[in-house]
Amino acid sequence: MDSGRDMRHRDPLTTPVLRLLRQDGRASYTRIAETLGISRKRVTEIVQRAVDTHEVVFTVSVSPDLLGLQRFGYVQLRMDGPVGPARAGLIAMPETTFVADITGDAPLDAEIRVGPDPHLRHTLERIRALPHVSDIRTHVYESIEINLYSPLRTGRTGMSLDRTDRAIVRHLQRDGRATYAELGESVGVSASAARLRLRRLVAADALKVVGVPARHADSDVPTLGVGIRTRGALDPAVQLVRSLEPEFLAIAIGEYELIATLRAQRVADLVPLVDRLVSSPEVATLRTWTNLRMLKEEYGRGELLSVKHEVPAVSAAAGSE
């Protein structure tokens, strides 16, 4: 194991620092230091170490509304031959935002985001046609309730990004913590104009800058997929899962009514979370799978030239301020 990834040398405050940066990838080190009661220098050292050891990547996610995405789904693939070709095919598909090797009778899973019908049907047909796929287990998301790494869909129309906004987004995709001066210089506006544009985009839920765990190289931080069939009204079960602080939670149509991703710092820490679900009267049945290896995790990084809607709050005039 790389010495930089050795947990014995990991600062114990790395977890709370990175948790705050998952919520806001551009949170100031001073604010994080004040929240945790530590020095700004220590926060800086923790974040720099996490970046240097590829534990976290700072990037930007774009609202599904801006990308013209209307339907989301989740699939698990059963295989009757080598997994490699289907794995590569899933990763290459622009419709997949998440792909992982998982445990269980279906060794691959993926989240898909698509535009208007029949885009979903055509995407599922392409997945079924991947080499050695014998069957797919499909769920359509009625709504995504929690996603730490992506703006949620609001359904608002009339939104767009102009050329300068798109250039800012592309720069943030490469470096989510770029300074306003760096952003302004890269797109040809002042630092204050870049700051105004970014703040308006974030306030409009058009963008979310996040510190995403680089989990393809992060085997010490397991995540657990959970599929739930509920008993009785759905809302109490949703609140139950929310109380476990999941990374992801969706209301689904299919075999499961709720699909969630639970995270912990150790495998042992996942056990009480599962125990709580199993013992809760809101849960009728529960199925879990471990995400062995995250192969793709790119939320809202689609081609911005496809953006067709317009947000009045973010106008080209902002660049002249």
Which has the higher per-residue pLDDT, 302 or 173? 173
> What's the pLDDT score for residue 321?
34
Residues 43-81 have pLDDT tens digits of 999 999 998 887 888 888 888 888 888 899 999 999 999
Q: Where are the domains of the chain?
A: 3-53, 56-321
What pLDDT is attached to residue 166? Answer: 87
User: CATH class for domain 3-53?
Assistant: mainly alpha
- What's the CATH number of domain 56-321, 3.40.630.30, 3.80.10.10, 3.40.50.10540, 3.30.70.920? 3.30.70.920
CB atoms within 10 A of CB 181: 13
Q: Pick the most confident of 62-71, 100-109, 210-219, 303-312.
A: 100-109
φ and ψ at 276, to 5 degrees?
-65, -40
Answer whether residue 219 shows pLDDT above 60: no
Lowest mean pLDDT among 70-74, 120-124, 208-212, 283-287: 208-212
What does the pLDDT read at residue 271?
93
Q: What is the mean pLDDT of the chain?
A: 86
Cis before residue 118, ω within 30 degrees of 0? yes
How far apart are the C-alpha atoms of 108 and 77, rounded to whole Å?
5
Residues contacting 269, CB < 8 A, separation 6+: none
Helix (H) or strand (E) holding 101: strand 96-102
Q: Does this model's pTM top 0.75? A: yes
C-alpha span between 232 and 242 (Å, rounded): 17
| CA dihedral sign of residues 103, 105, 108, 109 | negative
Q: What is the pLDDT of residue 67?
A: 81
